[in-house]
Amino acid sequence: MQVFISESAFWGILVSAIEVYRKESYGLLLGHKDRDMFMVVNAVACQKAERHTTWVRARERSHARIVNFFENLPNLYIIGDFHSHPRREINLSEEDIESMRPDAVYIVAEIRDKAKDKYWSYNEDGTISGTTDNWFIKIAGFYLDPESGKPKMADVLCPFAIGFSIKPKRTSTA
Ligand SMILES: [Zn+2]
């Protein structure tokens, strides 16, 4: 399984992780699913949804409003959600796993204080990672394997992100 992340969705996931650091971000993923690929077109942060907000709590009013709004738009579907793991490994927590539904994709963004600059690149485990001005960020996509019912990591595809980051150091000309 692959997860394609558009430029817009990449920014949405990054900005919300940074904005609420060191709290967890949360938001919805919009797009569509083709045979073996989730196409994430947009990632919309849900401000009111503090941590623990997952599909499980989709009944809550503000969350339900957003879900209803998107479910009534043509051509865009809620295909999953995203949240950040501030200063934590990217692995799913038990709670994350409990909230997973079949046929949906779950993006997790690990975010830490940056130790050193790293250009954005694909990693062997299917994640992508890199740095911004102050942070190291790693992005993974998870889904439930239809056969085993267990969570699996998908391969993240995000051509926009690759090579992104780190403004070249200005060489002093003075
Ligand atoms: Zn989590």
Which phi and psi (to 5°) does residue 20 adopt? -100, 5
For residue 16, report the distance from its CA to the centre of ligand 1, in Å: 15
Q: Tell whether omega for the bond before 22 is within 30 degrees of 0, i.e. cis.
A: yes
For residue 106, report the distance from its CA to the centre of ligand 1, in Å: 9
Tokens at 5, concatenated: 């992340």
Q: CA 171, CA 174: separation in Å to the nearest integer?
A: 9
For residue 132, report the distance from its CA to the centre of ligand 1, in Å: 21
Q: Write out the chain's pLDDT in tens, 174 residues.
A: 999 999 999 999 999 999 989 888 889 999 999 989 999 999 998 876 555 444 445 446 777 788 888 888 887 899 999 999 999 999 999 989 988 999 999 999 999 999 999 999 999 999 999 999 999 999 999 999 999 999 999 999 999 998 775 555 555 554
Q: What is the pTM of this model?
A: 0.88
Query: What are the structural domains of the chain?
Result: 2-157 (3.40.140.10)
Question: In this predicted structure, what is the pLDDT of residue 56?
Answer: 42
